[in-house]
A and B are shown apart, each in its own frame.
Chain A
């Protein structure tokens, strides 16, 4: 028997030729295991991301085989590296162009909070311009840490209710960033 783990099916009723479960569980499993990331790699964390995508730490095992550089076709915005104030509007533009459902992971200390660069030209954390789901600390975080962050995103995606995006709490969050 091979030791490759496949995704476990959600709890449901199984029979000859059919499997019945609830819609949100099925969609949750499908979404979380086929996330298409948009690697927004700016600096050193981008190189650790390249190492994560390469053979040793293969991120493709988790479903992120196809990197999408077009925001419309991406699910997960992975912001890796320092975001300067000059880059802030560009990041916001990319986030606005992503189609729902979308998640954001801030990889590295600089994306999380500005990192070691407490200067006039660096944005002190990308959550000043876009809402963030998962933060991965580290400078740069090891590929294992990036994978851990990715798995946390998968957990979020799997357990998310289908109605979450139209709830008033979510709308309020987006409004606080000035996003309609």
Chain B
């Protein structure tokens, strides 16, 4: 429903960054593209400053953990162009033992806390972040809770009787 169609977006981005972005699909009308961590900041910067596209709003920065895939950690950026009323989703896949990705703070200051939250939950390390420490969990927590292997409940709880919970 925006003034730029998804095909137009794909064409513009692919001509500007040939071979560096792949289109993953358009689930429910939202164009989803994938790129690598070497190119992501350049792409975000170009998307923000391009005179026609103007993706000036970073809606969200989050991550998803796919333990069964080879590249297990996906960092997802949601962008929004207010002028053209169109959204875009960018994904960067990282291997679980090498979860480094450059920080998006030079492009948007909003990425500061969003990246801290991703680090807190998933352990993704953002290179160049001025203050990468935990934001929501206790500071001395060692595990990364939203990874799939971490349990939901506190394992040290003594007063929950297994008998009543069917265990």
Contact = CB atoms under 8 A, between A and B. Distances in A.
Q: Do chains A and B touch in the complex (CB under 8 A)?
A: yes
A85 B139 CA distance: 11
A120 B138 CA distance: 11
A85 B145 CA distance: 14
Interface string A68-92: 0000000000000000011000000
Interface string B131-157: 000001110000001000011111001
Contact of A119 (B138, B152, B159, B160): B152
Given A86-B138, A118-B153, A119-B152, A124 B145 contact: no
Nearest to A124: B157
B137 A119 contact: no
Interface in A103-139: 118-121, 124
A120 B151 contact: yes
Contacts of A120: 145, 150-154
A119 B121 CA distance: 14
Interface in B102-158: 136-138, 145, 150-154, 157
A163 B154 CA distance: 40
Contacts, number: 23
A120 B143 CA distance: 11
Contacts of A119: 152-154
Contact of B159 (A85, A86, A121, A124): A124
Nearest to B159: A124
Chain B interface, DSSP helix/strand/loop, else mixed: loop
A167 B157 CA distance: 31
A81 B38 CA distance: 45
A131 to B, nearest CB: 16
A86 B154 contact: no
Interface centre among B138, B145, B150, B157 (most CB of A within 10 A): B138
B145 to A, nearest CB: 6
B133 to A, nearest CB: 13
A178 B7 CA distance: 66
A121 B138 CA distance: 8
Contacts of A118: 152-154, 160
Contacts of A124: 154, 157, 159
Contact of A121 (B137, B151, B157): B137
Nearest to B156: A120
Contacts of B151: 120
A19 B145 CA distance: 64
B164 to A, nearest CB: 13
Interface string A41-57: 00000000000000000
22 contacts: A85-B138, A86-B137, A86-B138, A118-B152, A118-B153, A118-B154, A118-B160, A119-B152, A119-B153, A119-B154, A120-B145, A120-B150, A120-B151, A120-B152, A120-B154, A121-B136, A121-B137, A121-B138, A121-B145, A124-B154, A124-B157, A124-B159
Given A85-B138, A119-B154, 7 more contacts: A119-B152, A120-B145, A120-B152, A120-B154, A121-B137, A121-B145, A124-B159
Interface of A: 85-86, 118-121, 124
- The 6 A-B pairs at the shortest CB distance, nearest first, are namely A120-B154, A86-B138, A118-B153, A119-B152, A85-B138, A120-B145
